[in-house]
Structure 1
Amino acid sequence: MSPLLSIVLPVHGVEPFLPRCLDSLGVGDARADAAGADTEVEVIAVDDRSPDGCGAILDDHAARDPRLRVLHLAENQGLGGARTAGLAEARGRYVWFVDSDDWLPDGALSAVLAELRREQDTDQPVDVLLTDFTHVYPDGSTEPNPWRHVLTGSPLAEGCTAREHPGLMQTVMAVWNKIFRRAFLQDLDVSFGRGYYEDISVTYPALVAAHRLRYLDRPCYTYRRGRPGAITNTASPKHSDAFAQYDAIFAFLDRRGIGATGQDALRNLVFDRTVKQALTIYDTPGLVPAALRGDFFDRIGRHFDRHRPPGYRYPAGVRGIQYRLVATGSRLTYSELRRTKRIPRSLRRRARAMAPTVRKGVRSGARYAAYNTFRRLPLDENLAVYAAYWHRGYACNPAAIYEKARELAPQVRGVWVVETRAQAATLPAGVPYVVVNTPAYLRVMATAKYFVNNVNFPHTMAKRPGTVHVQTQHGTPLKSMGMDLREYPLAADGMDFDRLQEAVDRWDFLVSPNPHTSEHFSRAFPGRYELLETGYPRNDRLAGATAADVAAVRRKLGLAEGQRVVLYAPTHREAQGGYVPLLDVGELASRLGPGCTLLVRAHYFHRGSVGEPELGGAAARVVDVSAYPAVEDLCLAADALVTDYSSLMFDYAVLDRPMVVFAPDWAEYRRVRGVYFDLLAEPPGVVATETAEVAQALRSGDPAPGARAAFRERFCPWDDGRASERVVRRIFPVTVAPAAEQGEPAESREAARDGRRRAALAGG
């Protein structure tokens, strides 16, 4: 009877570690973990002409346990050759390649066998079973699997393909935490390579081709890191062996017709990962010998040129610049960029031949020098810098905090950063500003004590000791954000997660609008900041609005009295690129009729894309308000909101007015972007998939007050009109008490607010 599992164990020069490995596999002595596994497991140990006593240790164990078979190779074959020899002798339905200096934790073998037994009873047995693992270092310290977050809570729990969970391709590509169905592996027509990095020529093809992958969320492997003699600690010309493995991977993709002639997201991921690994090898001190570094860098460039997929897009940020430098063979410039973290002077001489983003970096050299000069000045303890939406103007939570800080902490001067002088003209009268990249901008960025933004300030602006960075974000998250986007590469669109983590590490405070956001932002943006569970400052205006405020906004927008106003605000869709309205605005306007005005606001990524169709007197008037600076005005003006997956719905819920969710592509959006809850199961109003259904819901007046009430209870518990004050009091040295609080003891106010927040967090 064939065993269920074959364990292939290549052995060479690991005498101090081999006994523990064999004991963990339950061979050579009667271990409880191996009980009942006599016919289910075989161990094929391959003595790769080991120069120490490993061969004798193996023979001694084999003499006491028939489940262990030992192959003694006449010549050293390396890890790849030894694994190939062991695989040829394997008889199990599944095969596991275990390194002989590592070991399996107690219970791991039994857990894996239990999973494989269950797989035998399925219609489509798993092709590759991945396991969790633990790193252990020479000093005995351990580190959990750093990619576990990509694997848990994913389709891998039940089984999926790499296309269905592409985040898998960002995890460790080693062979040792993967158990392969042997027939599947042999049918791939791939082999372990010679020399270093020998396993990736098997793991990449196996993961790409597997019809069913699963993840066992249990640490079943202990991997030694940093031991003397390991390839990750050894200077050797053999690190160049990686390029032969890359060639084998892309030869496999070509044979299978995966992205060879057209764009293919999976091939792009494989390519990007191989370039990143090659650069990691090059950048890691002590791996590539000094005399060979130039040749190694050139080989990365040749790999880039040979295997770049059709339609490949460079990553964003510094990594994209690094890739361009690799592609053009600019080794010295690359090295200077790594050393100084800025575009070096040497690049100026060749700026015309480089990509536009690189040329832009060259021009930043002088600005960088000026900024560093200003950084030598003392911090201005009463200076705060504000920005919103990548310096687009005065808006959102930073604007609300700025206004409240002027009231409660007037000694702190606030300065706004804008992209252009034209944008500066849109600021409210009397608001101080600086324009990006001017000397004034560099000075305030170098010397300010406080920084408030709803996105990140440029990474070139370093955090000085003593400064306070407040990240407000700009919406309650329905869609996946931050580090969670590693599981959604199309939505991430080349996001540099290392750079994102650098930005998060600068935050001192992160503002949260509700308990839902606190839960998900704490994971999506891991850091040491303080979470301010205050509510969103920008919603204070909505929470405190009066009928007079609404009337004033409508007059400002030129809306006729008696008109019913509907705001349509769709979100950005990564899969579509620009503004592609799924809702037929013209049809909706025609169905709503002349008694209605339809305000259309595109996402800020797509300003200037909407237009105002001429529909005649029988239709609603359509007004493109995409460029209107204050979305809070539009919310106040609107009697109802139509949206899809925009975070605006959470803000609009503060007003307790009707909403319609237009969601014809929910399944695709959920797959591409990832979401934190099922909007269709918990909507703030009627859900529609056709334009006619949207119109019918709007004509029904208030069609779903119960759904809206439940939505408000979950997402608006802290929207009492005092969020800005709570943020300002925590961040700034407050010197003025607001008139609204005169006569009310401070202790009772704080106790009441704390009680409300605790009740909201507890679901009360």
Structure 2
Amino acid sequence: MKLSLILALHNVEGYVADCVRSIIKATDGTDAHGLEVVIVDDASQDRSLEVALDEFAGWGGSVAHIRLDENVGVGGARGRGVALARGRFLWFIDPDDELVPDAIATVIRRLGSASQSTIIEFPVIHRIDELGRTLAFADRSLATVASTRFGSSISGAEYALRLLCRRVPGVLWTKVFPASVLQAHLVSSERHSEDILTLFRILQEDCSVVQFEEVIYRYRDRATSLTRSPNYFLRNAGQYAECVELARSAPWWSPTFDWASDYFLFSRVEMPRMRALARGENEGDFRNEFRRASTAASWRSVWWWLVGAKLPFDRVGILARTFVLAKAVPSSWRLYLLYWRRNAARKG
């Protein structure tokens, strides 16, 4: 078995039929007998599993499924799927998302030369809304194309540094993994941010990543997504600290990379914390947190963010570039407070 697609379902009855139809359509012109779909129903309270199996009826590939009696979360459900899968390569597909019509053929073609230590990735995606309408035909925000060498092998160390700097996707569904890699490192506990924690565990090993420019995935932008929660990053601060510990304990780590781990914690922990405090009435709490964050970041790191790090030119990257001001002028906390309050007001 060459490739296993793993779907972890939980109360997605309204979306999973579209997902399955897109998988079936994506196998047109491909030998489906070399494909396997593994469905894990994570104790859904609706007919998610029944809908998925009805849609797969008559399909030429292999379909395995299991229904869990208790909800174990997406990480736990994926872990059950990995244990059931027989493919040499594994691909997680979120059941509220979709594939483009030639996705399977593209993946199989790209796997032709992949070794058992090579992860392949497709970071350019389509975005769709809750009704399946296209929002962006080629969203490159996950790819940071300026720093991406499509078709070239990237070492695990280099990819980890890009991950710390938010220059590559911290999600699993853009990637196709060798089964042995996931079996050894998948985080299958009941936690949020399983994706990025899994990636840092994998990147401690001797592996490589090859990115390709083809668009194969349609990501559904849902208002109820966990990642859209205003406190999502704050709830996962412990996992992000664990990611940094994993990176710093890797054989390839060097103190010269400290600026990258500092940026990772600034962007995923410190900045969301300050943004949350800016919404409150107590300016003193914001001032104290701002000064603590500016003290925690070293001068070397903030200068590197400004002049040498090639950070993304998104809102987080731009704010990091200005953080040298925070260290040089303690009273600048008022400017940052004003910025975040105005930003919150614009968002309603």
* TM category, shorter: 0.7 to 0.9
Partner of residue 161 from structure 1, selected from 155, 160, 173 = 155
- 1:145–1:52 Cα change, 3 Å: same
Cα offset, 1:289, TM superposition? 9.5
Q: Secondary structure at the match of 2:216?
A: strand
Partner of residue 243 from structure 2, selected from 244, 249, 259 = 249
Unmatched tracts of structure 2, length 5 or more: 307-317, 343-348
* Structure with higher helix content: 2
| Separation in structure 2 between the aligned mates of residue 86 and residue 244 of structure 1, nearest angstrom | 26
Cα offset, 1:57, TM superposition? 1.5
2:21 counterpart residue number: 23
Cα offset, 1:159, TM superposition? 1.5
Q: Secondary structure at the match of 2:49?
A: helix
Unmatched tracts of structure 1, length 5 or more: 342-764
Q: Which moved more, 1:330-339 or 1:42-51?
A: 330-339
| Separation in structure 2 between the aligned mates of residue 126 and residue 270 of structure 1, nearest angstrom | 25
| Separation in structure 2 between the aligned mates of residue 107 and residue 284 of structure 1, nearest angstrom | 41
1:336 counterpart residue number: 337
CA contact (8 A) 1:96 1:176 kept: yes
Pairwise mapping of residues 751-762 of structure 1 onto structure 2 (< 5 A)?
A: none
2:126 counterpart residue number: 134
CA contact (8 A) 2:82 2:182 kept: no
Cα offset, 1:113, TM superposition? 1.0
Q: Secondary structure at the match of 1:217?
A: coil
Cα offset, 1:103, TM superposition? 0.5
Pairwise mapping of residues 476-495 of structure 1 onto structure 2 (< 5 A)?
A: none
Are 2:178 and 1:181 equivalent residues in the alignment?
Answer: yes
**AA paired with 1:272?**
Y
2:199 counterpart residue number: 203
- 1:167–1:101 Cα change, 3 Å: same
2:105 counterpart residue number: 110
**AA paired with 2:337?**
E
1:213 counterpart residue number: 209
**Once the two structures are superposed, what CA deviation does each residue of 1:392-427 show, in whole Å capped at 9, x if it has no partner?**
xxxxxxxxxxxxxxxxxxxxxxxxxxxxxxxxxxxx
**Once the two structures are superposed, what CA deviation does each residue of 1:440-478 show, in whole Å capped at 9, x if it has no partner?**
xxxxxxxxxxxxxxxxxxxxxxxxxxxxxxxxxxxxxxx
- 1:251–1:51 Cα change, 3 Å: same
2:263 counterpart residue number: 272
1:48 counterpart residue number: 42
- 1:115–1:41 Cα change, 3 Å: same
**AA paired with 1:136?**
I
Cα offset, 1:269, TM superposition? 2.5
Q: Secondary structure at the match of 2:214?
A: strand
Q: How many residues align?
A: 319
1:4 counterpart residue number: 2
Q: Secondary structure at the match of 2:240?
A: helix
| Separation in structure 1 between the aligned mates of residue 144 and residue 215 of structure 2, nearest angstrom | 15
- 1:17–1:149 Cα change, 3 Å: closer
Q: Secondary structure at the match of 1:160?
A: strand
| Separation in structure 2 between the aligned mates of residue 156 and residue 196 of structure 1, nearest angstrom | 30
Q: Secondary structure at the match of 2:218?
A: strand
CA contact (8 A) 2:119 2:178 kept: yes
| Separation in structure 2 between the aligned mates of residue 300 and residue 87 of structure 1, nearest angstrom | 45
**Once the two structures are superposed, what CA deviation does each residue of 1:67-103 show, in whole Å capped at 9, x if it has no partner?**
1212211211222222222122222111111111000
Are 2:31 and 1:37 equivalent residues in the alignment?
Answer: yes
**AA paired with 2:259?**
N
**AA paired with 1:161?**
S
Cα offset, 1:160, TM superposition? 2.4
- 1:324–1:46 Cα change, 3 Å: farther
What fraction of aligned residue pairs are identical, expressed as a percent? 20
- 1:162–1:310 Cα change, 3 Å: farther
CA contact (8 A) 1:235 1:289 kept: no
Cα offset, 1:247, TM superposition? 2.8
**AA paired with 1:184?**
V
- C-alpha root-mean-square deviation of aligned residues, in Å? 4.2
2:255 counterpart residue number: 263
CA contact (8 A) 1:48 1:78 kept: yes
1:319 counterpart residue number: 320
| Separation in structure 2 between the aligned mates of residue 195 and residue 324 of structure 1, nearest angstrom | 36
**Once the two structures are superposed, what CA deviation does each residue of 1:264-306 show, in whole Å capped at 9, x if it has no partner?**
33x5334413421335645778x99969xx79x969968x95x
**AA paired with 1:263?**
P
- 1:258–1:268 Cα change, 3 Å: farther
Are 2:78 and 1:77 equivalent residues in the alignment?
Answer: no
Q: Secondary structure at the match of 1:20?
A: helix
Pairwise mapping of residues 551-562 of structure 1 onto structure 2 (< 5 A)?
A: none
**AA paired with 1:245?**
Q
**AA paired with 2:199?**
T
- 1:43–1:272 Cα change, 3 Å: same
| Separation in structure 1 between the aligned mates of residue 44 and residue 144 of structure 2, nearest angstrom | 38
Q: TM-score, normalised by structure 2?
A: 0.74
Q: Secondary structure at the match of 1:76?
A: coil
Q: Secondary structure at the match of 2:176?
A: strand
Pairwise mapping of residues 115-514 of structure 1 onto structure 2 (< 5 A)?
A: 115-119=110-114, 124-125=115-116, 127-131=118-122, 132-138=124-130, 140-143=133-136, 144-147=138-141, 150-151=144-145, 154-161=148-155, 163=157, 169-187=166-184, 189=185, 191-192=187-188, 194-207=190-203, 209=205, 211-225=207-221, 227-235=222-230, 239-259=233-253, 262-265=254-257, 268-278=259-269, 281-282=272-273, 312-314=301-303, 315-316=305-306, 318-319=319-320, 322=323, 333=334, 336-339=337-340
CA contact (8 A) 1:258 1:264 kept: no
CA contact (8 A) 1:101 1:224 kept: yes
CA contact (8 A) 1:156 1:213 kept: no
Cα offset, 1:218, TM superposition? 0.5
